[in-house]
Amino acid sequence: MIMRLFMFILVLGGASFEVTSNRLSQYEVIEKDYMNWVKQKSSFKHSLFGKPKNKLKPCLTIRVNKKPSLAEFATVKKAISSIPVVNHCRVVISIGAGIYREKIEIPATMAYITIVGAGADKTVIEWDDTADKMGQSGHSLGTYGSATFAINSPYFIAKNITFKNKAPLPPSGALGKQAVALRISADAAAFIGCKFIGAQDTLYDHIGRHYFKHCYIQGSVDFIFGNGLSLYKHCHLHAVTNSYGALTAQKRESMLEETGFSFVKCKVTGSGALYLGRAWGVFSRVVFVYTYMDKIITPRGWYDWGDKNREM
């Protein structure tokens, strides 16, 4: 049984938004492809998001390296802190190989940040918070606050880097063990060649228009979740669960919302039994197009979150 406004599509029609040019680098092509997609989505007259005003040409490059002699900063957090709180130009932070054990949050006014690693297998930002952990306020962090890397500013780009939450895989039915690797809570963001590693609630695709290409996303339950309007192209989605899990939990609450997750030419692998999604919102919307799936998907496909009103 398929959830209301969930879709499983085998054929994709309509215009292509790919950009190709012999004079552009691979990443310039991907970035232009991404901007074309964002501009096309802005034509839908979103109430929350206006026409994108991205800036791809950098005005400053900052280097981060575990060896201080090779860069301006030894930590990612210090590099980000060096950028003006209200930022108006594209700043590239080039991060050398290594494991950076840091918890990072980019404020809403610090737009146009690009994070570039030495390779997703070489550059890792990791932390291990869970939703039930107590924060400095004396209250639990919650899912929102558990993120290793959180982005609140628009026009963010990440390339060739891993975002990881090291919290262990929770037992079935455990409470408060949501552990976000990355949270994106802003518009017009792109992730290219990145890895997102975690267990429950790995990637919080919270709000905004987001573009993921050639990414690897690993988790157990609801490991891609939120209410973003997001396109995932050529991504590898890998489940790590010994029992039942869910790939997505999309939170579209109204037929008037234009949010949803689209997976195009992706691959789903892993262990356990996996739902394609759980209907977190009454009108949850997820699309899979030309996507390979291992024999781990439950025949039912979708779960209604215990609410029959979320079924067609």
- Among 199, 302, 213, 212, smallest CA distance to 250 is for 302
Look up tokens 């209301």; give the residue.
Answer: 4
- Among 75, 59, 57, smallest CA distance to 67 is for 75
Which residues partner with 267 through β-bridges?
A: 236, 292
Query: Do the Cβ atoms of 144 and 175 come closer than 8 Å?
Result: no
Which residues partner with 239 through β-bridges?
A: 219, 270
Query: Do the Cβ atoms of 97 and 118 come closer than 8 Å?
Result: yes
- Among 190, 115, 188, smallest CA distance to 148 is for 115
The rounded distance, in Å, linking the Cα atoms of 273 and 107 is 38
The residues, ordered by sequence, that sit 6+ positions from 133 with a Cβ below 8 Å of its Cβ are: 140, 141, 146
The rounded distance, in Å, linking the Cα atoms of 234 and 213 is 6
The rounded distance, in Å, linking the Cα atoms of 223 and 123 is 21
Which residue numbers are catalytic?
A: 222
Give the C-alpha distances (Å, rounded to integers) separating 58 from 158, 192, 209. 14, 17, 22
